[in-house]
Amino acid sequence: MFKNTISNLHRLRQVAEVLLRYGFEDIVTMTPLRRLVPQRRRLSWLHDERSVFETTRWERVRLIIEELGPTFIKLAQAMSNRADLLPQELIDEFEKLQSNVPPFDVTVARQIIEEELKQPITNVFSEFDDVPIGSASIGQVHRARLRTGEEVVVKVQRPGVQEKVRGDLALLHELVRLTANFLSNHGLANPQDVVDAFERSMSKELDYTAEARSMEQMRTLYADYKTFSIPKPYRDFSTSRILVIEFVQGCKITDKEQLLAWGLRPEKVAETGMDIYLTQIFEFGFFHADPHPGNVLVRPDGTLVLIDFGMVGRLTKQQKYAFAGVFIGMARQDARSMALNFRRLAITAEIPDMRAFEADLSQLIEDFAMLDVQEMSMSDLADSLQTIIYNYKLQVPGAVFLILRALVILEGIGKVLHPNFNTFEFVRPYGARIIKEQYSPDNILSEAQYTGAQLLALLQTLPADVRQIMRKISKGELRVKVELSGYQTLLRKADELVSRTILALLCVGGLLFSGLTLLGRYSPDMPYRRGVPEITWWSLGATGFLLLVLFLLGVTRRKEKGK
């Protein structure tokens, strides 16, 4: 424990120094982090031989994240999907982050595989390629062949990465504790919740069995699809640190030349891909959350294959209906419907002015209603929706931002393959399907049963709750907790008034004392200046100083009122 504490202090000092180097001295000097940096330490505010102040504040945040390492990069990448928490300028910078990490020694990879499988690697694989085909901050990937003949890829976790990530997560918790007030004053109201959610996400990413389960679940959902495939995970040879998956031969979905060489129509491939993804969202509520071109492959027969299920998203049935309702309300140019569905979608939605909220949504509808179908962009719509969510501080499920981000990526893929690709035309029929499902007899019956169960539970507990309240009233034990807000300004004004009153009284007292000193009888040793006792001059000097302080306080107050 002592060793960990010393290690955290050393790392915290490094973090504080990096913050200072990039001009974020306010974060250090306004929080307890200032105690970790000696005053004699002179830090250079330079990056690539130029002053960091030539960059924007958001760019300096990205530079800090890059220097702090992979865990912080992954946190920033995760935060780039949270437009409800961060301004768009910072999200744009976070999207530039790349966690390019060189591969580790293949002998270490082989050793990890043998430790996890508890047998020599040759007992499992007849071939194992020592050159990795991919490398990331968590692990790297090697091609191999099982003893039974199947071609596979093997994901191997980096040595010591779990300890490194846990250490950095502990550090993040400590940083949030030290800077919570600062972050709260700058708009991030719940930084601890953000770190907790990131910790849960990283815990899943560090456990390869979670990825294997996601792949198996998706394989079950799409078992009957002929145009879509998910690689098979080999659970018998997989653990939390290694994952063995079926190898897929294919090209990137954006490789138009290869698609044409195989006799495939790129337009059809794009339409199939969009249909599959929208089915994941609106039918199953379980979707692959990172469909960039490298994760979407096409086989020579036209079958689409999704790989890398380290990031998946889920929507409950009610969230699915509310999310679809936002798009349906927009299609119908109904701002009130959009607002209501946003409130249903949000985890907490304390909107102080619903009329202003509806007005902003109405403006959004007008902006897009005037556009031609070819001019509509999912990217522009996603940015507009995320801006509204951020401005009104709506806490919506993180899966919503994953969906918006994925739709933007898919639109980019679609426009490469399909000259007339339009995301909205694909979403429209799913909206009608969702309405039909939402108001189907089976769903209405299910909702009625749920509501009835909730009412029954309330009726069962209500008599006991009322009895308990009445018992506390009769015993005088009932306490009401009232939290006042908005009184800080009043207290500050009262404090300023009292301070100035005291100064004014001291000034009056000083003048009275100065007058009385003129009437006093002093010993011959008392020095006089210009016929006035020296004590009188001292008293007048002190009073003058107090008057000057009182005058400056009044000037400062008037300037603050004028702003």
What DSSP element (H or E) covers 76? helix 70-79
* Contacts for 222 with CB less than 8 Å, ≥ 6 apart: 228, 229, 230, 276
Query: Which of 290, 308, 334, 360 does the annotation list as catalytic?
Result: 290
What DSSP element (H or E) covers 339? helix 335-345
Q: What is the DSSP letter of 152?
A: E
Cα–Cα distances (Å) from 74 to 310, 344, 545, in that order, read 13, 30, 57
Cα–Cα distances (Å) from 463 to 356, 455, 457, in that order, read 42, 13, 11
Q: Residue 320 and residue 344: Cα distance in Å, rounded? A: 10
Exposure b/e, 27-37, CB count within 10 A at least 16 = b? bbeebebeebb
Q: Is 290 a catalytic residue?
A: yes
Cα–Cα distances (Å) from 548 to 498, 504, 513, 555, in that order, read 17, 11, 18, 11
Q: Give the three-class secondary structure for 370.
A: coil
Kindly state the tokens that stand for 116: 């996890």
User: Quick one: angle between helices 398-417 and 378-391, nearest 10?
Assistant: 160
Q: How far is CA 215 from the centre of its chain?
A: 25
Query: Which residue in the block uniquely carries the two structure tokens 């209501």?
Result: 340
Active-site residue list: 290
